[in-house]
Amino acid sequence: MTVTPQPLTAGQRGLLVLLCFDALLLGLLELFFLPLRLDGIVLPKLGDAPMPVTVVLAVLTTPLLVRTTAKVIRPSFSVIPLLVWVLVVLGMGMTGPGGDLVLVQDWRALLLIGGGALPGALVLGGGLGTAAKAGKGVKDG
C-alpha cells in the first residue's frame, strides 16, 4: 500500500516561505557579524580578540528552524530551511556584494559553517527517522 502525501495548504506554503526567509536573514546576519572583535568599537575593548558571537546564534537557530518546519509543515520539508541557510552562508560568503569575499578566511568560518549545519543536520536526521519509524509502524523491542 502506497501512501501519497497530501499537497501543502496555502497556510503551510506561506509558513514555509516565512521560515526560508528567516533562514536567509539569519544566514546573512551571522555571516556579516562573524568578524566582530573585542576592540572597543561594537563590543567592549578586551585585547582585540576575535569574538564570533554569531556562531552561538547559528548553533541555536538553525536546528530550531529545522524542527519548526518538521512540526508545522512536514518532516520531509524540513531540509529546505537548512539548505537555504547553507546556500546563503556559502554563496554570499564566497561571492558577496560586489564580488567581495565576506566569509573570513580563518577558524571562525569553519566554526560558523559547522556550528550551523551540523546541529541542523542532526535535528533533520532525527526528525526524518522518527517520521519514518512512525509511518512504518516499526516497534522497538
CA dist., res. 107 & res. 119, Å (int): 18
Say if 62 falls within a structural domain: yes
Say if 137 falls within a structural domain: no
CA dist., res. 139 & res. 141, Å (int): 6
Q: How many structural domains are present in the chain?
A: 1
67: three-class secondary structure by DSSP: helix
pLDDT score at 138: 45
In angstroms and rounded to an integer, the radius of gyration of the C-alpha atoms of the chain is: 18
Buried b (16+ CB within 10 A) or exposed e, 74-93: bbebbbbbbebbbebbbebb
pLDDT score at 117: 95
Say if 102 falls within a structural domain: yes
Give the pLDDT mean for 34-55.
80
- pLDDT, one tens digit per residue, over 20-36 is 999 999 999 999 998 88
Q: What is the mean pLDDT of the chain?
A: 87
Say if 139 falls within a structural domain: no
